[in-house]
Structure 1
Amino acid sequence: MIKENLFSVEQNILAACKRAGRKREEVTLIAVSKTKPVSMIQEVLEEGILDFGENKVQELTAKFEVLPNNLRWHLIGHLQTNKVKYIVDKAVFIHSVDSYKLAEQINKEAAKKGIISNILIEVNIAREETKYGVFAEETYPLIQEIAKLNNIRVRGLMTIAPFVDNPEKNREHFRNLRQLNIDIKMKNIDNVSMDVLSMGMTGDYEIAIEEGATMIRVGTGIFGERDYSI
């Protein structure tokens, strides 16, 4: 099943890139493996996927210990400051930074390990009350502050778009996030590169690619439906 699902996702990515006049290598597919066992991750690995996304620190660290060390782990869920020390040297990207306090803690722990931590600022682009993330107008001031921290590199923006029945409804949000990313990039802030746009999930990743996503986060489309009772 996983092999067939991955083939289907890959065909969709190629088609979306073609429609947008983009190269396939401009888009990184992150397989969202939250709640999924190591055995399923290994199946995906066999198909050449190396980027995996987890929501919870505990789950990521447990899988990190038993899977090959060439995997690229992405923390995509909400991160509490007291959990940063467990993750900072294991995740190649932390996608969900939404406060200076969290960035400060990541910087502190990264300094202890002698590393630079790649982070994305989570933007609540649709202004949903139930979502984490800063609003669009708060993003630039936050990045200006975070940019002063030595062991963090702000690489771009991330958003979780609304759950919709028609993915076209999210095009506007993806377009707005991309424009925000461009606007901030043009300010040429030291220590800020803005080369990453993490947006699009199983239901809407093709639209996200058409609107400029450089990372898409696909879970159900690869692994199948999740069982949250386990």
Structure 2
Amino acid sequence: MAAPLVEGAAVAALRSVMFRARQAAERSGRNFDQVRVVAVSKTKPVSLIRQVYDAGHRCFGENYVQELIDKAPQLPQDIEWHFIGHLQSNKVKSLLAGVPNLAMVQGVDNEKLANHLDRAVSNLGRDPLKVLVQVNTSGEISKSGVEPSGCVELAKHMKLRCSHLQFSGLMTIGMPDYTSTPENFKTLLKCRAEVCKALEMEEEQCELSMGMSNDFELAIEMGSTNVRIGSTIFGPREYAKKLAD
């Protein structure tokens, strides 16, 4: 009898998040349809994801390749899956082949990975795959992401040399304690301005993926178009076993 209570809590939490995100969008002077809420279901069972899906949500994210490959076939094909975070080049083929409804990779942090994705998309005959450049805005050595000074060149490489990828914007993963949140967001905004100038893009065409459970409202107020919400919707993550990347 415990499972339905948990699932009901997730649906209620989703509604709360969507309401708060809508309010933040209004404070930023934008329409809510300009903001995408990605429900990050890492370590959560398919049954719980299905409850959130049945409540009307369609955009979900995962951080582990094998977990996403396992879950995607068990869920409806109209889900818009986002792969979030570091992706190893040797996992690209299996990810794309195993998840035909993969909508976006957040994010790509080097040209080698971009090239692998480009070739894999081409070989599978898929429509161009949306990708975001991951930027290490907090300067942490242990964190993936291109340095802010390198985001223009990587974006340019994908835009001009990877015809099977659709460069769609930038993403960042802030520090775990959220202490650097405003600075991280300001850095990504600066990166977007530089990238759009170099590629002659309108800033509205360049998405920003920033903001998670504890700072998504501020992120939206500062211009984020993607917020990635995990524990606030699904509850604490469950690491009962090591998940393979």
Task: Quickly name the TM-score band, shorter chain normalised.
Answer: over 0.9
**Distance in 1 (alpha carbons) for counterparts of 2:85 and 2:181:** 20
**Distance in 2 (alpha carbons) for counterparts of 1:209 and 1:99:** 27
The DSSP-based 3-state class of the residue aligned with 1:187 is helix
Structure 1 residue 217: Cα displacement: 0.3
Contact 1:156 1:193 in 2 (8 A): no
What residue in structure 1 maps to residue 25 of structure 2?
Answer: 17
What residue in structure 1 maps to residue 147 of structure 2?
Answer: 135
**Distance in 2 (alpha carbons) for counterparts of 1:198 and 1:134:** 15
What residue in structure 2 maps to residue 95 of structure 1?
Answer: 106
Structure 1 residue 164: Cα displacement: 2.4
Structure 1 residue 81: Cα displacement: 0.8
Question: Normalising by the residue count of structure 2, what TM-score does the alignment of the two structures yield?
Answer: 0.87
The DSSP-based 3-state class of the residue aligned with 1:18 is helix
What residue in structure 2 maps to residue 155 of structure 1?
Answer: 168
The DSSP-based 3-state class of the residue aligned with 1:70 is coil
The DSSP-based 3-state class of the residue aligned with 1:202 is coil
Structure 1 residue 131: Cα displacement: 0.8
Q: Give the paired residue count.
A: 227
What residue in structure 2 maps to residue 164 of structure 1?
Answer: 177
Superposition CA RMSD, Å: 1.8
Residue ranges of structure 1 left out of the alignment (5+ in a row):
none
**Distance in 2 (alpha carbons) for counterparts of 1:225 and 1:37:** 13
Question: Normalising by the residue count of structure 1, what TM-score does the alignment of the two structures yield?
Answer: 0.93
List 4+ stretches of structure 1 deviating above 6 A: none
Identity of aligned residues (%): 37
**Distance in 1 (alpha carbons) for counterparts of 2:178 and 2:226:** 22
The DSSP-based 3-state class of the residue aligned with 2:206 is strand
The DSSP-based 3-state class of the residue aligned with 2:167 is strand
**Distance in 2 (alpha carbons) for counterparts of 1:75 and 1:41:** 16
Corresponding residue to 1:175 among 162, 186, 210: 186
> What letter corresponds to residue 135 of structure 1 in structure 2?
E
**Distance in 2 (alpha carbons) for counterparts of 1:164 and 1:14:** 25
**Distance in 2 (alpha carbons) for counterparts of 1:208 and 1:139:** 20
Higher helix share: 2
